[in-house]
Chain A
Amino acid sequence: MNLNKYLNYVNFITRSTPDPALMGGKGSNLVKLAQIGVKVPPGFIVNVNSYKMFLEKSEYGEQIKELLRIDYKAKDVLPLSSNIKDLILRSGIPEGVLNEVKLSFEQIHENFGSEISFAVRSSASIEDSSQFSFAGQADTFLYNKSFDDVIKSIKECWASLFSPGAMLYLLQMRKKGIELSLLDIEMAVVVQEMINSHISSTLFTVNVLNNDKNSMYIISTWGLGETLANNIIVPDSLIIDRKDFKIMKEEIGKKKKKSIQNPERSGTIMVENDPFSRKSCSLNERQIQQICKLGLEIEDAFGSPQDIELAIENDIVYILQSRPITTLKI
């Protein structure tokens, strides 16, 4: 049965139609990736209707909206952000939304086994926009095991819209003459099967370092991908010829640490990489070829150069995200 037809607050990643206004940029692109047949971890998107309903109907909704209307300054950001987050986390989720999330959660368990964990990622309506990047501002919560863990992380994602960094971003946009209120931003949340990444990579289908459209740029490391976007480690870097996928330049990064599943509870921990792993390239030639081929297929489907996040578990490549590269000067 295609549940999508009966749901208002949730869309399954497969068998949906891309819709950035409803699913946020990240969610909508995942739907498109599933459509073109690349391997995306199964899951669903808690769409912006859920967030709107939450603000409308939850017990602290009015108080939250009151805080979002405050005309704040940079020095107010820390206490205001913390008050908003506290109210969001304390609020219950309206029943209509909760029921659909529960149904979707159970459906994924039924199809893919009850032992799987979930990754919960934000997909804001202005995130990854071409004018001002919100990329990386909002949060990701990994290894959610129970339904309650998933619900808590969905609320954490909503709250991350009002992180100190995000609130400062809006102030900065105001300085530049772009008036955007905290009430204007909407958030969808992506809930997917957690991939136990042995290797995490990001592929830029053109070389963003020097705007060379004849080569691609890959960064890669061991473990989960959160070390790549943040400045936690120095990953391996590869420059690849777009024509024949030959390695033009390879630099082994220090990769001192890696992020892995916390063995005791939800979430992740950082551990040291062993000396051999630090010195070895995290991708082999066959994987590089496979990734590059996939990258060009995705670029072709989206119609522009892409920045693609990948995870490899047991030699299977999963695409976690694809977004356009907006900074090329060609």
Chain B
Amino acid sequence: MKVIGKGLSCASKDEVTGELVYIQTVEDVINLFDTAEGKICLIEDAGTTTLGPILSDLTGIVCTTGSGGSHLAIVSREFDLPCIMNIDIDIEDLTQLNGKTGKISTEEDNAGILYLLN
């Protein structure tokens, strides 16, 4: 298990594990619509996110920009979902993480940590 990123834990402080999926477009969300359960979504600074509709099925959210006041963080709190905003990930091409297993946990002072399990 390896730490690959650290950011701001903005919603649930539960520790969760799930398959990492890189999301960029509304088409990605549509493709994930019926299989979102158990997934941790990775989002870059893509502007308006369309992830809202599937949030209640997801296991966690990780976003490279934003803050605790972003829409994504607000709805993550509504669904009591672990959500790390403004995460610094050590890997340049996040698509490499597609299909791998990740873990989210919260440390002191609302630090959200993303681990890679395999």
Which residues of chain A have a CB within 8 Å of any CB of chain B?
A: 74-75, 77-78, 132-133, 135-137, 164-165, 168-169, 171-172, 176, 202, 204, 208-210, 217, 219, 228-235, 237, 253, 307, 326-327
Contacts and interface: CB of A to CB of B under 8 A. Distances in A.
Given A210-B110, A231-B43, A231-B66, A165 B50 contact: yes
A165 B53 contact: yes
B53 A168 contact: yes
Interface residues of B, number: 40
Interface in B30-79: 30, 33-34, 43, 45-50, 52-54, 56-57, 63-72, 74-75, 77-78
A235 B43 CA distance: 17
Contacts, number: 113
Given A74-B33, A208-B77, A230-B47, A217 B69 contact: yes
Given A229-B71, A233-B65, A168 B85 contact: no
Contacts of A307: 69, 74
B29 A232 contact: no
Given A210-B110, A231-B43, A133 B78 contact: yes
A55 B77 CA distance: 35
Contacts of B69: 202, 204, 217, 219, 228-229, 235, 307
B26 interface: yes
B17 interface: no
B71 A136 contact: yes
20 contacts: A135-B75, A136-B71, A137-B52, A164-B26, A165-B50, A169-B53, A171-B33, A204-B68, A210-B110, A219-B67, A219-B69, A230-B71, A231-B43, A231-B45, A231-B65, A232-B65, A234-B67, A235-B67, A253-B67, A327-B74
